Amino acid sequence: MADGADGGPRAGVAGGRAPAQAPERAMWCDERFDFQATFLQCLAKHVPNIYSAEMDPLLEKQEEMVQAAILYPLECYLFGEDPDIFLEKLQQSGTSQLCGKVFKGGETTYSCRDCAVDPTCVLCIDCFQNSIHKNHRYKMHSSTGGGFCDCGDTEAWKAGPLCTKHELGSSNSPKENSECQLNEEIMEHSRRVFPSVIKYIVDMLIWEEEKELPPELTVSEKVDSYYCVLFNDEHHSYDHVIYSLQRALGCELGEAQLHTTAIDKEGRRAVKAGHYASCQEAKEEIKRHSENVSQRPLHVEVLHADVMAHQKFALRLGSWLNKLMSYSSDFRQIFCQICLKEEAGSEKPCFISKLMLWDAKLHKGARKVLHELIFSSFFMEMEYKKLFAVEFVKYYKALQKEYISDDHDRVLSVTALSVQMFTVPTLARHLIEEQNVITTITETLLEVLPEYLDKNDKFNFQGYSQDKLNRVYAVIYDLRYVLVSKPTLWTDRLRERFLEGFVSFLRILTCMQGMEEIKRQIGQHIEVDPDWEAAITIQMQLKNILLMFQEWCACDEELLLRAYRECHKAVMRCSTNGRSREKTVFHLCGHTLESRPYRVSADPVSIHLPLSRTLAGLHVRLSKTGAISRLHEFVSPEEFQVELLVEYPLRCLVLVAQVAAEMWRRNGLSLISQVFYYQDVKCREEMYDKDIIMLQIGASLMDPNQFLLLMLQRYELADAFKKIKPTKDQDLIKQYNILIEEMLQILIYVVGERYVPGISNVTKEDVIMREIIHLLCIEPMAHSAITKSLPENENNETGLENVIDKVATFKKPGVSGHGVYELKDECLKDFNMFFYHYTKTQHSKAEHTQKKRRKQENRDEALPPPPPPDFSPAFSNVVRILNCDVMMHILRTLLQRAVELETHLWTEAMIQMVLHLLSLGLLEEKQQLQKSPEEEVSFDFYHKATRMGSSALNAVNVLMLLEKLKRVPQLEAQKDTVNWILQMFDTVKRLREKSSLTTVAAASASEATKGDESTQDKEKAERKRKAEAARLHRQKIMAQMSALQRNFIETHKLLYENTLEAQGKEDAIMEEESMSSAIDYSRIALGPKRGPSVAEKEILTCILCQEEQEVKLESAAMVLSACVQKSTALTQNRSRIPELPGDTLDPLFMHPELPCGTHTGSCGHVMHAACWQKYFEAMQLNFRQRLHVEQIFDLENGEYLCPLCKSLCNTVIPIVPLQAQKINSEDAEAVAQILSLARWLEIVTVRISGYSVKNTKGEKQNLPAFTNKGMGNSALEFHSILSFGVQSSAKYSSSIKEMLILFATTIYRVGLKVAPNEADSRIPMMTWSTCAFTIQCIENLLETEGKPLFGSLQNRQHSGLKALVQFAAAQRTTSPQVLIQKHLIRLLGVLLPNFKMEDTPSLLEVDMFHILVGVVLSFPSLYWEDAVDLQPSSISSAYNHLYLFHLTTLAHIMQIVISSATESSTACSPDNSEEAQSAQSFCREVCQYTSGCFSQDIPGWFVWDCVKKGIMPYLRCAALFFHYLLGVSPPEELLQDSEEGHFKALCSYLSLPTNLFLLFHEYWDTVNPLLQRWCADPMVLSCLKGKSIAIRYPRKRNHLIELPEDYSCLLNQASQFRCPRSSDDEQKHPVLCLFCGAMLCSQNTCCQELVNGEELGACTFHALQCGAGVCMFLKIRECRVVLIEGKTRGCLYPAPYLDEYGETDPDLKRGNPLHLCRERYWKLHLLWQQHCIIEEIARSQETNQIFFGFNWQLL
């Protein structure tokens, strides 16, 4: 409502308005009157009148009345002068320096990664374009609506808080200045006006009486006039509402749609007016019907007309205030003061709080006005924003509860404003200190979730409601906003409040600690997978909040310790499990462990332990800050109970191990998913990683042997390491093996994973670098893939950019694919095979890659762990578990099992881990020895490992076992590692033996290598020899394979043509060479000097049955798969699309603008016609049963996928062999003596007139009028044409004929969009037309790609074109010859001087190349005789072709001359060549015939230049056409891509003089009448007079539209886009047509078009016009290209924009700056010009079945 009024022509407070109504103005101006009473009186009087016509309002009229009766007087009073003048003044004085633009959904927002304080700080597009951040690392995103631009907010930006626009605004009017703009009188008036206005708005918005108004607004004569009002909700769909309305009110679909749209937009609408009873009845009806459809009834109310009117006006006043706010800071401040004023002594909330609390009850339109008002007032004044925030937090709980039960989206809730306040650092601090906001939020969180608490006060989300939880997440987000910037300054109060908030937050974690426990299912599989998503999602949401709490705590030592104590208490309170059980004792190698029994496999276990993990997090921070030394002051050692702390995380890790061992198979997928997320990058920081840390804490504080015993017991492996013969149960053994592997892995992590600040002395950068190194050790990766694999911090940053260049180099992408990072060589040494964030697959991939690399470098394959950084002091004890007794026992036991070949009791992976642990131990000892004197190093791994396992006779030590291990055949792959370890033993031994530290280090380095030199050398040599042998072997195999391949290719030659293009060329050249040496043949295609056809024998292989066959006229047909489509690829005028329906269209003449042609393409694959038919039928049968496949291709229309390459095809071209012809040039020269052009013309004319005489007897025909001009000899008669040589027509096999008809019918059907009709007279026309058009397309493509005319076509193009031209020549024989003659006569009408037909189009309205193809192909029909089927002999043909071509060429030159005559002649420098002179004299002639219209002054050189340039495409097309028709080899020059000699060669090939004007000269007498006729054409004359414009030659080559370099320019354009059809300001989906540049409003009902009773979306509709159904669009907001074809097919394609990492960004998910990639855009261009869009769509739909659901029709 307010929107509608705002959008009207009188928008704004200061708009034009009706003249003031004098009496009222006078009354209002009286200083003594009671403003409030007068104001209300005025409203009571006018409002019901103005808004009386609710059902069918005249919005403009309404607005006029509002202005005149209420707003204008009100403003006069407020300002004390004419409002227009006043506001003008005020506006000039400048506005706020805050931008404050409120975003609508879908609008693009920009953030700066360098300068924004947090990612919620955004700029609008205008501010961004004018800001310094434009050149920073910015991000683009789509707004969800409701946010606002932070330009000008100094707290939001570290730098550049103001754009140049707003900087200007603020400098122009210094603050004091604009503050003082309003004089005291106006301020006084505002203080009087605002309260009444605000009170009225508030009262009316929260008014609940249906029938009554407040007494002061009630008018005396109350009428019985009511409305039935329907409200919007998110529960009912559009269609539901329409249905209910239609049923309940009995209204038309259109009306119901109108109502529904309005309801959706404004939130409510009156759907019926009348007496109370009838409205009440309608209300019940609507409720009843809507309830039927979807259980819940629609919200309907019956309101009195006056109530409705006042509520409406209240909103209008709201937007009036909103506008007013933007004029002056004083207005804003006064407004805010009044809104915040509490009634003295009353508990009632102030105005603004009242509205906030009422927000969830308001309808959509009212909410929008309210929120905008808050934005434009409170949020523009920092001081009042703070006061507003205080009110907001005061009612926070109530507001959130309202929101959670609300049925509107979050953008429409006042709670969504939280982000605007909580993310402002000073405001957040204030709210924590003064309003205890952390506690408030956490308490709210607990209060809104009571139904999810079970009897133990733990959360349980079984059967949760997704919608409700989504709303709860909003509260969690608020917590995140408050914590996002860490305070730099701590006050006591802040510390206390924060700690209070933290304790409150621990209460939530307590409810989560151990929630959703699970128990292993034994025997039966669980019936239903339990819900797990909710709990995991909350974990994800909490991840960063947990981290932020820990960070905040770590700001201050005291705080950290106190928080630790609280957290420790909370953990202890939760660790009660199993206390009732008696302790049991476990012995192993002399050590004992007392513990309470617990088994993960039998007792309940939970994956959710946020309390334990928070404690672990605080613990490492204690260690990092050193505060750990004071821990005992806060938690006494007796209380500490480290075993209990470790217990729960350990259980969780054991659960993961047991799941890996498939022990939990029967618990279903839900558990698998939980375990996945537990270790996934989205959760692991606050789950898995912290559990490992907790184990490290345990290992550092517990006795190492006890720790290991605890591990063994919890892994349920106590028995596995005892000497008792274990079970024979194979499954159990397998289980044991996996559990042992899992446990060893965790032990490796506990000892080796030290990349956590606090555990060792590393920085965050080190940690990220290590993550990246390990990712890149798997394979080179794209930037986005790396980002996705790294955890994000609270600002959505991974820190990747800061370090990536230190560890990797960037490799740019090609035309497809994306750029990747490759690891630098020097980083390879840091590779740790047992990196704890590797998944199992990543682990083995990385191991494989690294081993392969080492092998290639001819190095050993040992991959020992890199030396880890030192533990920090608090964790230094962890290493003791490496050399404790239990560890030695474990290692020895496993090695022994491997050596003793008890194959089933060990695995290679297990031994790898044992070796890794050994390496870690040795590395540790070595490092310690190198740092301190030997006697101080107590870590004695070497000693322990070389000690015997027992006192028994056969006892062994680790070292001995290792030696034996080398001989275990299954462990061949580990040999290098074992060797490495043995060397390490040696090194450590030496270090131990040397007493002096300095010499030790040096010696160990040199001697370690020296000592092993001999063995190393030997092994190296051996390795080399093996590598060499392997290489030779590979070579041999390769040779064999390629031999096989060659044979295979020979037998399947056609299948492989594409790959063998290069080779094919060579063959051709060789062939040519051999020929040219044999006979010196002419390379002229036309006339008496015609060269021979080079018709090679064609043997093709059917791709279906693999049989070969020679192509012959009389054999069964072979066919080429083909696709016929309409195309506008060459159009010169996109707005000119013939609208004629297909059944009346006459396609004989093509318009020179080439608006729409029929293109025939082929993938080049050959089949037997019979095989293809079988294939097609089988497919039809098969796919009839599978419904969805029909969407890929339309079987009804003959579509199928090529059996070999899966291209979309809709027909086949029969392959007709070229009839080789060769003429005897002497004979031909002889004929030339008699057969001049004049003579030839006579003969043809006589022949035609003869036919006409014959034909007129029967039917009535459009007869040419014959003139006798130039016909001297009357001795010629009907049969003269035959005397220059005839031969019998080719006899095609019936199968070829059948295919000729089939293909011709397809062209006809597709090209004209009509039902197939084999007998239609237009079939031959369409055949010639597609032949000409396809040649033109190919010529165009070759030119734009800069390729030579011949020899550079892709194979598929070549074979397609060859087949098409031969087909087009042969098609004639399947049509009645009379029909062909009829078409021929009409075509000749344009060219022949001596007859004229009525419907001959003007010379300027035909495309000459189309005519050439038509006349050449139809000409043989003149040889047709009743009795015998004849065709011209080679010599006759040669002359026919020559003269027909010369005539069309003359006509085309004429076209060029006429169209260029009107151009200005500045293009090039004049010359005086022979050609220029001929042109000059030609022009003089033409001038005569045009009665002076053709200017004589046009310089000859200019005309020649125009002709030479303009005729090229035509000549090139003609050369292609005659080459494929006759098979005459073209001159060499045309096979090269240099322009030089091109024109000459073309002329020579086509028997033209290079001085083209000589043609006229030569044939002057014959051509003269023709010239006169052409020139007399009214259209030509009008063009020469400049009255109409003829097409220019050469025609322009079409390109996809120019796109801007920077993608944000496009987004800018899109943001300015307004839908042409609807005026609402809702966001649209702007889509750009890449063919013509039109911007469309897609996927929106406003721009749908009705075509043949079907609703088409704007894009689909546009495609019909612009691309004949096939089109290419760029969806701007989504940054994707869409290809569509027809109404049902389309696909997405990556946009040609790349970020700096060479990646595309569909849907702008990552939001990096994007730049145009020319190569990719060119690729799209080629896709279009090669007519491969349809193919691309079919291919993509085949692979991507997701898009089947999409309704392309409505795009």
Binding residues for Zn ion, rule: CB under 5 A, are: 99, 101, 112, 114-115, 124, 127, 133, 136, 149, 151, 163, 166, 1102, 1104-1105, 1163, 1165, 1168, 1171, 1202, 1204-1205, 1207, 1619, 1621, 1633, 1635-1636, 1638, 1641, 1644, 1646-1647, 1666
The CB-of-1335 to Zn ion minimum distance in angstroms stands at 21
Least Å distance, CB 629 to Zn ion, is: 42
How do strand 1639-1642 and strand 1629-1633 relate by DSSP bridges? Answer: antiparallel
The C-alpha atoms of residue 1271 and residue 1243 are separated, in whole angstroms, by 10
> Which residue number, 1036 or 1621, has a Cβ lying nearer to Zn ion?
1621
Selection from 557, 556, 555 nearest residue 627 by Cα: 557
Closest listed residue to residue 1, CA positions, set 42, 50, 72:
50
Residue closer to Zn ion, measured from CB, 1166 or 1461: 1166
**Alpha-carbon gap, residue 83 to 75, rounded angstroms:** 6
- Specify the DSSP element, H or E, that contains 1161: strand 1157-1168
E runs forming strands in 425-536: none
What is the SS3 assignment for 1216?
coil
Q: What are phi and psi of 1293, to 5 degrees?
A: -65, 160
Q: What are residue 878's DSSP bridge partners?
A: none
Q: Chain centroid to CA 418: how far?
A: 31
CB of 169 to Zn ion, least distance (A): 8
d(CA 236, CA 1046): 66
Q: In whole angstroms, what separates CA 1504 from the centre of its chain? A: 51
Of 1145 and 1205, nearer to Zn ion (C-beta) is: 1205
Inter-helix orientation angle 533-553/610-625, to 10°: 20
CA-wise closest residue to 1296 among 1216, 1218, 1198, 1380: 1216
What's the closest the beta carbon of residue 674 comes to Zn ion, in angstroms? 40
Q: In this structure, what token pair is assigned to residue 370?
A: 């309210």
Q: Least distance in Å: CB of 1619 to Zn ion?
A: 3
Identity of the residue, 946 or 1115, whose beta carbon is nearer to Zn ion in the bound complex: 1115
| CA distance linking residue 1654 with residue 326, whole number of Å | 47
**Minimal distance in Å, beta carbon 483 to Zn ion?**
23
Query: Residues near 848 by Cβ (< 8 Å), separated by ≥ 6?
Result: none
Determine the Cα–Cα distance for residues 1167 and 1100; give it in Å rounded to an integer: 9
Compute φ and ψ for 1685, nearest 5 degrees. -140, 125
Q: How far is the CB of 143 from Zn ion (least distance, A)?
A: 12
C-beta of 117 vs 286, nearer to Zn ion: 117
Q: 592-595 — which CB contacts under 8 Å span 24+ positions?
A: 592/709, 593/706, 593/709, 593/710, 593/713, 595/643, 595/710, 595/713
**Smallest distance from the beta carbon of 1594 to Zn ion, in angstroms?**
23
Q: How far is CA 1495 from CA 232, 1458, 1485, in A?
A: 72, 10, 11
Please state the separation of Cα 144 from the chain's center in Å. 18
The number of C-alpha atoms within 13 Å of 241 and in the hemisphere containing its C-beta is 27
Give min distance, CB of 1342 to Zn ion, in A.
22
Q: What share of the chain is helix, strand, coil (3-state, %, to 5)?
A: 60, 10, 35
CB of 1215 to Zn ion, least distance (A): 13
* Comparison of 114 and 603: residue with beta carbon closer to Zn ion: 114
Nearer to Zn ion, 133 or 783 (CB): 133
Q: For residue 663, how many C-alpha atoms fall within 13 Å in the half-sphere facing its CB?
A: 23
Q: Which is nearer to Zn ion, 921 or 1164 (CB)?
A: 1164
Residue number with CB closer to Zn ion (774 or 1134): 1134
Least distance CB 1167 / Zn ion (angstroms):
6
| Cβ-Cβ contacts under 8 Å for 360 (sequence gap 6 or more) | 402, 403, 405, 406, 408, 413, 414
Residue 1098 tokens, joined: 């064609």
Whole-number Å distance between alpha carbons of 805 and 821 = 9
Contacts of 1624 (CB under 8 A, 6+ apart): 3, 7, 265
What is the rounded distance in angstroms from the CA atom of residue 123 to the CA atom of residue 1678?
19
For the CB of residue 1173, give the shortest distance to Zn ion in the complex, in Å. Answer: 10
Closest contact distance (angstroms) between CB of 1213 and Zn ion is: 13
Tokens of 755: 């990349």
**Least distance (Å) from Zn ion to the CB of residue 1206?**
7
In the complex with Zn ion, which residue's Cβ is closer, 115 or 1683? 115
Take residue 1317 and report the two structure tokens written for it. 């009709």
Q: Specify the residue, 114 or 1562, whose C-beta has the smaller distance to Zn ion.
A: 114
The dihedrals phi and psi of 1672, each to the nearest 5 degrees, come to: -130, 120
The enclosing H or E element of 845 equals: helix 840-856
Which residues sit opposite 1145 in a β-bridge? none
Among residues 526 and 1205, whose Cβ is nearest to Zn ion? 1205
Closest approach of Zn ion to the CB of residue 1744, in Å: 20
The distance of closest approach from Cβ of residue 1216 to Zn ion in the complex, given in angstroms and rounded to an integer, is 18
Q: Please, which residue, 642 or 1105, has the CB nearer to Zn ion?
A: 1105
Residue 1045: partners with Cβ closer than 8 Å, 6 or more residues away: none
- Taking the least distance from each CB to Zn ion, the nearer of 1550 and 1738 is 1738
Closest to Zn ion by CB, 133 vs 1247, is: 133
Of 1087 and 1690, the one with the shorter C-beta distance to Zn ion is: 1690
Pairing state between β 1108-1110 and 1200-1201 = unpaired
Closer to Zn ion at the Cβ: 913 or 1201? 1201
The C-alpha atoms of residue 443 and residue 445 are separated, in whole angstroms, by 5
Cβ of 1421: how many Cβ atoms within 10 Å? 23
Shortest Å distance, C-beta 1700 to Zn ion: 16
Nearer to Zn ion, 687 or 1636 (CB): 1636
CB of 806 to Zn ion, least distance (A): 23
> Any idea what the Cα angle at residue 408 is, between residues 405 and 410, rounded to 5°?
90
